[in-house]
Structure 1
Amino acid sequence: MTKILIVDDDKQATDLLQKVLTVEGYETTAVNDSSKAVQIADSINPHLIILDLMMPDPDGFKVCRMLRQTPRFIFTPIIIVTALDDSDSKVVAFGAGADDYLTKPFHIDELSQRVKDLLGRTE
């Protein structure tokens, strides 16, 4: 089964994403503490990571860089989901290793399609 890790300090957001992605047939794990994100990723080895940016230390930019510095996650797709809609944040996120960037609020069908597209490219 395809595993997706969701990292967001907003429990309501992770609960919603887990519900939707589980219905679509994915095995999901949610982490609401960004300081544990890399450790959890290492233990479950997800096929894709959904990552918020605006979290307590470390923020999502730092988590993304830490994941990309871990050899097993160099090619794991990372989708950023965040309320930050400015160009600078997008540039920094892509520079940190993000594969896609989706601004909150978003339509869940759009996220679902982006997940499918990225997973299709890496399988």
Structure 2
Amino acid sequence: MAMRWFNKPKSKDIWEEPIAWPIGDIEAAHRIRDICRAAEDIADKRQPAEAERCERAARAAMETAMKIGDDLLRDSAVRQIIGLCLITDNQRAARILFRAIRAPSIREEVLRDHPQLAQ
């Protein structure tokens, strides 16, 4: 009986949980925020084994962001994903995502926070 918890299945990460589509833009933005926060906590540990988990998180967040219809809400969500990409040292993905931001105010905020994307 005491050994039962050793056989307990590992809980899924938030980005691995299925989404019951359709969800609204606000719910999608909340999900992206939650994914980025959870992945940033993992990335802060700086363990090489966790890099793949962070990449899967960023990929799931990007897939969700593509389905957001409101431009400003999507740009704000992409800004959070850019932050995750830079924490995990994925400069290439961050630059690609930066080019996808349309709102000038959000582009300026991203450049102020991450001047290396100006190149």
TM-score range, shorter chain: 0.3 to 0.5
* Structure with greater proportional helix content: 2
* Structure with greater proportional strand content: 1
Question: TM-score, length-normalised on structure 1?
Answer: 0.32
Question: TM-score, length-normalised on structure 2?
Answer: 0.33
Larger radius of gyration: 2
